[in-house]
């Protein structure tokens, strides 16, 4: 991961064989781990979490939708390691399958939002003029809604379902992509080789795609990683409020949603474990994101 952005020149070197590239990737990955051990811990945790989510069928001891009528709200035991919820479903299995949904939603929404935002940012910086001014105003306006509230409005309009949740969260991430990438693109735009490309008769589109966008990759990458944690929290909040992924499909947020409706009979294991899953995942994203920012953006190093 670090390799690509650590050395943009590497990408540009067409002479490197695939083997050399692999070696280079390995070495820079190891360097990253040595320099940023905390970030590496976050990365390792994320690999573990993603593997468990991806191979949910192998790791989960029960069917996440199976209802055991004989143990409704059962405490953690040998049979149900983390207990069961009010409907008698195994919490551990639901956390594992819920993680799959939560990770999918956050990764896809950030990818969608940041990518469109980044492309918009490049265009806004390069084209300038009225397009830039209007873009900046739109971004400002979208940012003046609290992310959770904006996502809720979009969900009212679009209706439920995993894809609408992804789109709603993506829209809340979009302005950050525009802002961050625009600021990078503004400085890249002034470089001499952009003038050179223009002098050679390159079209606007070609200059943006071939000469400006690649230089913005590091900023885009850092931004996307940093927002994955926020996306997880928004998804979880939506699920908790009952407006996101709807049961019986498990997500970390909607597992917590049942608790408040049933406070006459509170069960702590239903509160503690999904929340821990959310917190640990967000923490890992943040740790990795901070380390990547330090590694890729020397200006911010040491903050």
Partner 1 sequence: MLAKYIGRRLLYSIPGLIGITIIIFLALRILPGDPLAILYGEGGRENLTAADIAEIKRQLGIDRPLYIQYADWMKDVFTGKMGESFWRGDSVSELIIRRGPLTAEIAVVAVLVSWIIGLPVGILGAIKQNSMADYISRFLTIIFLAVPSFWVAILVVVVSLLAFNYRPPLGIIQIWEDPFTNLQIVLAPGIVLGLATSAYIARMARTTLLEVIRDDYVRTARAKGLPERLVVLRHALRNALLPVLTLSGVLFGLLLGGSVAVETAFTVPGLGTALVQAFTERDFVVVQNLVLLYGIIFVFVNLSIDLMYAVLDPRIRYD
Q: Report the interface residues with partner 1, using CB under 8 A.
A: 137-138, 140-150, 152-159, 229, 233, 236-237, 240-243, 256, 259-260, 263, 266, 268, 271-272, 275, 278-280, 282-283, 286-287, 303
Distance, in Å, from the CA atom of 245 to the CA atom of 242, rounded to the nearest integer, reads 8
Q: Which is nearer to partner 1, 124 or 215 (CB)?
A: 124
Q: Which is nearer to partner 1, 119 or 234 (CB)?
A: 234
Sign of the alpha-carbon dihedral angle for 62, 63, 64, 66: negative
CB of 1 to partner 1, least distance (A): 20
Q: Which is nearer to partner 1, 152 or 184 (CB)?
A: 152
CB of 281 to partner 1, least distance (A): 8
Strand ranges in the chain using DSSP code E only, listed in sequence order: none
CB of 161 to partner 1, least distance (A): 11
CB of 96 to partner 1, least distance (A): 18
Report helix angle 91-127 to 129-143, nearest 10.
150
Tell the residue number behind the tokens 């009979």, with chain if given.
Answer: 265
CB of 302 to partner 1, least distance (A): 9
Q: Which is nearer to partner 1, 64 or 253 (CB)?
A: 253
CB of 249 to partner 1, least distance (A): 18
Tell the residue number behind the tokens 């390799």, with chain if given.
Answer: 3
Q: Which is nearer to partner 1, 129 or 201 (CB)?
A: 129
Distance, in Å, from the CA atom of 200 to the CA atom of 274, rounded to the nearest integer, reads 57
Tell the residue number behind the tokens 């390995």, with chain if given.
Answer: 26
Q: Which is nearer to partner 1, 52 or 148 (CB)?
A: 148
Tokens of 155: 């969900």
Distance, in Å, from the CA atom of 198 to the CA atom of 219, rounded to the nearest integer, reads 24
| 3-class DSSP assignment, residue 84 | strand
Nearest to 126 by CA among 53, 206, 46: 206
């Amino acid at each position: 991961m670090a390799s690509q952005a650590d050395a943009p020149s590497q990408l540009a070197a067409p002479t490197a064989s695939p083997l050399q590239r692999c070696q280079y990737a390995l070495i820079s990955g190891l360097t990253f781990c040595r320099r940023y051990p905390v970030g590496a811990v976050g990365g390792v945790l994320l690999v573990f979490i993603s593997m468990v989510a991806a191979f949910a069928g192998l790791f989960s001891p029960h069917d996440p939708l199976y209802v055991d009528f004989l143990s409704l709200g059962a405490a953690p035991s040998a049979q149900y390691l983390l207990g069961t919820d009010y409907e008698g479903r195994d919490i551990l299995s639901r956390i594992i399958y819920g993680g799959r949904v939560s990770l999918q939603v956050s990764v896809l929404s950030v990818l969608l939002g940041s990518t469109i935002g980044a492309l918009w940012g490049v265009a806004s910086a390069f084209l300038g003029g009225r397009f830039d001014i209007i873009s900046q105003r739109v971004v400002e306006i979208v940012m003046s809604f609290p992310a959770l509230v904006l996502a809720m409005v979009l969900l009212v309009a679009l209706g439920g379902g995993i894809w609408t949740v992804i789109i709603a969260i993506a829209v809340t991430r979009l302005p950050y992509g525009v802002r961050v990438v625009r600021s990078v693109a503004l400085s890249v735009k002034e470089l001499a080789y952009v003038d050179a490309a223009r002098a050679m008769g390159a079209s606007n589109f070609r200059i943006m795609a071939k000469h400006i966008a690649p230089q913005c990759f590091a900023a885009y990458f850092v931004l996307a990683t940093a927002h994955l944690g926020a996306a997880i929290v928004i998804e979880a909040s939506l699920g908790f409020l009952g407006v996101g992924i709807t049961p019986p499909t498990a997500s970390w947020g909607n597992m917590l949603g049942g608790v408040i409706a049933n406070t006459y009979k509170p069960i702590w294991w239903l509160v503690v474990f999904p929340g821990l899953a959310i917190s640990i995942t967000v923490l890992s994203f943040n740790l990795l994101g901070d380390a990547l920012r330090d590694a890729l953006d020397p200006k911010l190093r040491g903050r």
